[in-house]
């Protein structure tokens, strides 16, 4: 699984430009799904089984990025805008990679001012040969290789390539188990989550599921003087209770908790006070879809050093596979 994580997190795919990462995922799921399609917005939709209850599982392929908006005529430095939620305190000195492979370094007019406006930053993508290798309008993703530290994996774009890994590995586990599924499961690898949950919204309307499950990262409460929450790295799969975009129906939460307990899967309950997931979009499709979220605990979200624990990832895989391979009971 580590090799798959490395492949996906190091891939290029800012919001709206997911075609490279989509093809990598498509290659991984060939032979694991009964049907594979790409919808008009670019979501990769994989159907497994043909049972009575339709479950939609969503993990977003896109990553936080930026787009070059203007080249300074004298210096050639590139001004840029965000594709998703940039953390300005992490920008200075960071590296970005454009689609053609050009590497850029982010500079700032006042690098010591944590309150700098985005307009104070620029990208140096010069080659030293007097050429202008990057055109205005070019998107870029942040660049950093994945590193392992024991069971901890550190990389850019764990948000949400690690959710994509959970979906792929659950599909692989279902294939290995064999037999007929009691549900029809649509694994949706969605686009443009970081800019407004756009892919999940259109995919949910196309799939029209009975139940929705999002796979995404969540913050942890085990950092010094950080947010107050019970989720910790190494504590198991995080079953969402609430976030600003989603009030999880009690029946969905109970369904997930009961499965984790029956299968002996370590879990923890997640109450997130900032941010949301694809489940917030799925729940409002058509006349409404009861939706929940399996979250992967992650430190340093929206940086190039997002950190997860491989044991938590495995717990999420096992929980997801257990949920979709058994009849859905929402009491």
DSSP 104-145: EEEEETTTT-TT--GGGEEEE---SSS---S-TT-EEEE---
Residue 193 falls in the annotated catalytic set: yes
What 3-state DSSP class applies to 65?
Answer: strand
Question: What is the sign, positive or negative, of the torsion defined by CA atoms of 275, 277, 279, 281?
Answer: positive
* DSSP H/E element including 271: strand 267-271
Phi, psi of 157 (to 5 degrees): 60, 25
Among candidate residues 193, 194, 270, 306, the one labeled active-site is 193
DSSP 206-264: HH--SEEEEEEEE--S-STT----S--TTS-EEEEEEETTEE--HHHHHHHHHHHHHTT
Contact between 257 and 287 under an 8 Å Cβ cutoff? The reply is no
Q: Which of 275, 263, 281, 261 has the alpha carbon at shortest distance from 212?
A: 281
Active site residues: 193
């Amino acid at each position: 699984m580590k090799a798959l994580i490395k492949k996906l997190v190091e891939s290029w795919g800012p919001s709206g430009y997911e075609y490279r990462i989509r093809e990598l995922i498509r290659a991984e799921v060939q032979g694991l799904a009964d049907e594979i399609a790409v919808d008009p917005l670019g979501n990769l939709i994989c159907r497994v089984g043909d049972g009575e209850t339709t479950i939609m599982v969503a993990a977003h392929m896109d990553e936080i990025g930026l787009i070059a908006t203007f080249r300074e005529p004298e210096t050639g430095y590139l001004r840029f805008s965000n594709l998703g939620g940039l953390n300005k305190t992490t920008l200075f000195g960071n590296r970005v990679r454009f689609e053609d492979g050009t590497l850029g370094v982010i500079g700032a007019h006042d690098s010591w001012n944590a309150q700098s406006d985005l307009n104070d930053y620029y990208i140096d993508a010069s080659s030293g040969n007097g050429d202008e290798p990057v055109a205005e309008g070019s998107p870029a993703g942040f660049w950093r290789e994945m590193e392992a530290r024991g069971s901890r994996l550190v990389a850019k774009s764990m948000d949400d390539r690690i959710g994509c890994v959970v979906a792929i590995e659950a599909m692989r586990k279902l294939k290995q188990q064999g037999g007929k599924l009691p549900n029809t499961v649509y694994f949706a690898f969605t686009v443009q989550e970081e800019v407004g949950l756009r892919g999940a919204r259109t995919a949910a309307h196309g799939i029209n599921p009975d139940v929705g499950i999002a796979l995404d990262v969540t913050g942890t409460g085990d950092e010094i003087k950080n947010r107050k929450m019970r989720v910790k790295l190494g504590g198991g799969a995080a079953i969402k209770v609430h976030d600003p975009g989603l009030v999880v129906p009690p029946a969905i939460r109970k369904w997930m908790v009961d499965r984790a307990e029956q299968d002996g899967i370590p879990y923890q309950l997640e109450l997130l006070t900032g941010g949301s997931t694809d489940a917030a979009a799925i729940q409002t499709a058509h006349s409404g879809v009861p939706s929940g979220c399996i979250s992967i605990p992650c430190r340093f979200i929206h940086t190039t050093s997002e950190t997860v624990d491989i044991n938590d990832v495995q717990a999420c895989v096992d929980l997801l596979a257990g949920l979709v391979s058994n009849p859905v009971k929402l009491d």
